[in-house]
Amino acid sequence: MSEKRTAAEKETLREILPEVGTEHRLPATPPPAQYSIETLVPEVRQQTPAVGQRATRLDARLHGLGQTKYIDDLAFPGMLHAKIKRAGVASARIVCIDTRAAEAVPGVMAVLTGREIPVNSFGPSIQDQPVLADERVFHAGDGVAAVAAVTEQIATEALERIVVEYEPLSAVFDPIDAMKEDAPRVHPPAGNVYAHKVIRKGDVERGFAESDRVFEGRYATQMVEHVPIEPHAAIAQWDSNGRLTVHSTLGRITLGRTDLARTLKLPVNRVQVVGTIVGGNFGGKNEISQEPVLALLARKAGRPVKGVYTRREEFVASTTRHPIVMDYKTGVRRDGRILARKVRLVLDGGAYCSWSETTLGKACILSAGPYKIEHLHAEAFAVYTNKTVTGAMRGFGAPQVCFAYESHMDEIAAALGIDPLEIRLLNAFDEGSSSPTGQTLESVVVKASLLKAAQRFGWREPRS
């Protein structure tokens, strides 16, 4: 090609284009390293080049300029807006759903109900949650139908034209009650206890027998909603090769892709999930939610469909932190040394499993606290209730049990007349201590941290 250019053309090109010689081409094979490559394994607590150094967040500039594009900032030609009708009843049989009036609203391009979902179940571990409730409603936040329309306003108004007839069923709201034999079953015929874990170490009854005093206490935490300032949002669109692309606030896009493909009965290679900067996740955006609904609406309408949760939906229809009822029984020597601990945790597992199993596991393992306990029995249950789905939230079960074992520790200290700091120093893990599940712990800094904090707070100084 270059031979066909005149000399004059080449001269002009040379002026305006930089000289690119073969030495600037990337080699087909990388050159041998000029320096020795060694794997650096830093010593524990040794300063490494990166840790502790200051760095500017790469996204800081875009955030400050308002240039970061979150999902709701994206739009595509022809895009429709979807809204989901929420059940508003905790437990019911759906007798019938009539969407004809909604379909007739001008500007409504597609309406969807549960029976149109190819595989109407999803979930990160147990697939017990329907995409849209079809025959049964399990909690008030269940979606029962969805609409895609040219504006959000039309979609919202069309939702009200959808008539759903419910036959109320008995419901259970307290997890302890839900464990009883005669409690209403949330997901019949299965019982309400859907996950269980036991950790046994030593002989806890022997430990109590050897204790000078035994303390018992019940601690309970409440349901917490993540309240990310950015609501859940997603945009689904298909191409003419039958490939689905979903832009979503979803955090775990690989997991979500698989779950999404499963609900739509698509091979995974037909599904692309695009994640982007998320406006707060904290665990609440760790699994699919409205994505299958938006995908099916988009397929029906032949146009991209965007769905954004209202703030109210964030509270009733998105996942929350598990409330846990925690029963502690601890045997101690009179000097405060813990000999035995028995823990029972009952996690309010909400209407669906979501991330309850992971939460259960972590809560159970961490329930003993960072303390050397020779005899331990920790048993945890996740129990269905007809309430908002409980799932992943920062800490994953740790904050709840921390509240319990630390409150318990303070109460024991007060009863024994021992300083709350001293009782912890007496019992806390050391380097090489064994965790409740037998893991040998390294980099243990519990006592050093407590002492440093105590010094900073002026713990030992006289208080007014």
Partner 1 sequence: MSELRIMVNGRVRTASVPPETTLLALLREHFGLTGAKLGCDVGDCGACTVIVDGHAVNACLVLAAQADGREVVTIEGLAPADPLHPIQQAFETHASLQCGFCGPGVILSAKALLDGNPDPTTAEIRDALAGNLCRCTGYTKMIEAVRVAAQALRGDRDTGAAAASPPAWSEA
| Residues of the shown chain interacting with partner 1 in the complex, contacts defined by CB under 8 A | 52, 54, 56-57, 59-70, 72-73, 153, 226-231, 277-282, 308, 310-311
Residues 6+ apart with CB under 8 A from 87: 133, 137, 139, 140, 141, 142, 143, 144, 164, 166
Q: How far is the CB of 148 from partner 1 (least distance, A)?
A: 17
Of 72 and 379, the one with the shorter C-beta distance to partner 1 is 72
Distance CA 78, CA 149 (A): 11
State the residue for tokens 């955090």: 251
The helix-helix angle for 253-264 and 291-301 (nearest 10°) equals 50
Return phi, psi of residue 260, to 5°. -65, -45
Q: Please say which residue, 230 or 357, places its beta carbon nearer to partner 1.
A: 230
Shorter beta-carbon distance to partner 1: residue 69 or 180: 69
Nearer residue to partner 1 within complex by CB, 305 or 383: 305
Q: Is 172 helix (H, G, I), strand (E, B) or coil?
A: coil
Residue placing its CB nearer to partner 1 in the complex, 191 or 251: 251
DSSP symbol at 24: G
- Give me the least distance between CB of 297 and partner 1, in Å please: 20
Q: How far apart are CA 464 and CA 454, in angstroms?
A: 17
Structure tokens at 305: 């469909």
277: helix, strand or coil = coil
CA-based nearest residue to 343, from 400, 421, 417:
400
Lookup result for tokens 């789905």: 389
267-293: b (≥16 Cβ within 10 Å) or e: eeeebebebbebbebbbbbbbbbbbbb
Please name the helix (run of DSSP H) or strand (run of DSSP E) that holds residue 200, with its range, or none.
Answer: strand 193-201
Work out how close the CB of 60 gets to partner 1 at its nearest, in angstroms, rounded to a whole number. Answer: 4
Q: Whose Cβ is closer to partner 1: residue 17's or residue 229's?
A: 229
Closer of 50 and 229 to partner 1 (Cβ): 229
Say how far apart CA 21 and CA 390 lie, in whole Å: 61
DSSP state of 232: P
Q: Smallest distance, Å, CB 407 to partner 1?
A: 24
Q: How far is the CB of 393 from partner 1 (least distance, A)?
A: 12
State the nearest-atom distance from the C-beta of 228 to partner 1, in Å: 6
Minimum CB separation of residue 253 from partner 1 in Å reads 17
Residue 452 beta carbon to partner 1: minimum distance, rounded to whole angstroms:
10
Between 75 and 414, CB nearer to partner 1 = 75
| Of residues 18 and 64, the one with the C-beta less far from partner 1 | 64
- d(C-alpha 183, C-alpha 170), whole Å: 9
163-168 sheet: strands from edge to edge: 136-137, 92-98, 163-168
CB of 75 to partner 1, least distance (A): 8
